[in-house]
Amino acid sequence: MPEAPVPHAAVGGDFEGTWRLYRASLRHAWVPAALLALLWAALLGWLANRLAAADDLFALVTQAQALVSAPPFWRVVIAACCASTLLFCMLIAIIHAVAVGAPISLHGACARALRSFPAALAAAAVYMALTTLGTLLFFVPGALLWGMWQLWPVVMIAERTGPTLSFARSWTLMRHAWWSATTLTAVVTVAAVSIPLACNAMAMTLAVLAGAAAVPAQQVALLALGTSAALTAPLLPAALVAVYLAQLHRRPPGV
């Protein structure tokens, strides 16, 4: 555990609190973070290989349509989403333990994530379906649900609840904090995604300028993406845990 734990009451639900919690938990969370980054880098590499033969936009669209309509594509995507849910729960368990100064090992975080995995998978499916549907309905309902329910994975891991109670607790905790918390997590999410993509583009550009062939350049770019994604993967879990603990500190437990 870190030499200087981040106490419960000292975790602020803001950028400073998120950054402190991220730094304190990074060396404990690197295994699930690296696995999560490797998973999605491998998925992108797999997709790139399936579309590599396209020489123009129309050929690319045709290949993409054929790929998406094939059952193997959806099996791979579903498997990746399931593995991502498990790894994300591990990150939440580790970062929450660091935040409250509780001892937890990688084995303990994995065990806690596995216990919550079926409920987390169901909750993630409901969350994505309803927020997507709400977004299609003039955007505002989706933004509201996304913000009010965003703490469900932290509630599920920290309080060991099921999907329904996790959504209800998240809604209660997010009252009067929707704007600030949603702004925080939105900015953190954009940073966690854009930094690896920028590293990927930069590595690809440098490899091409250095005279590398297409396949080696793509491999270098994926390596840069995976490495940077491993560093940014704990950012969103840290923001969610920071907001959760800040709201618990502001409100009495159970309110």
Q: pLDDT band at residue 255, thresholds of 50, 70 and 90?
A: very low
Q: pLDDT band at residue 6, thresholds of 50, 70 and 90?
A: low
Question: pLDDT digits over 185-230, tens only?
Answer: 999 999 999 999 999 999 989 988 888 787 788 888 889 999 999 9
Q: How far apart are CA 102 and CA 96, in angstroms?
A: 8
Give residue for tokens 């690896």: 196
Question: pLDDT digits over 11-59, tens only?
Answer: 678 899 999 999 999 999 999 999 999 999 998 888 877 776 555 667 7
Helix (H), strand (E) at residue 121: helix 106-136
Token couple for 194: 């854009």
Query: Which amino acid, residue 236?
Result: L
Q: How far apart are CA 207 and CA 245, in angstroms?
A: 44
Distance of CA 166 to the CA centre of its chain: 18
Cβ atoms of 32 and 90 closer than 8 Å: yes
Residues 6+ positions from 160 with CB-CB distance below 8 Å: 115, 116
Residues 6+ positions from 175 with CB-CB distance below 8 Å: none
Instruction: Write down the pLDDT at residue 21.
Output: 95
Question: pLDDT digits over 69-106, tens only?
Answer: 888 888 999 999 999 999 999 999 999 999 999 988 89
- Integer CA distances (angstroms), 188 to 78, 182, 211, 233, in order: 25, 10, 35, 10
Sign (positive/negative) of CA torsion 11, 172, 88, 116? positive
Q: How far apart are CA 174 and CA 18, in angstroms?
A: 17
Task: Please count the other Cβ atoms lying within 10 Å of the Cβ belonging to residue 3.
Answer: 5
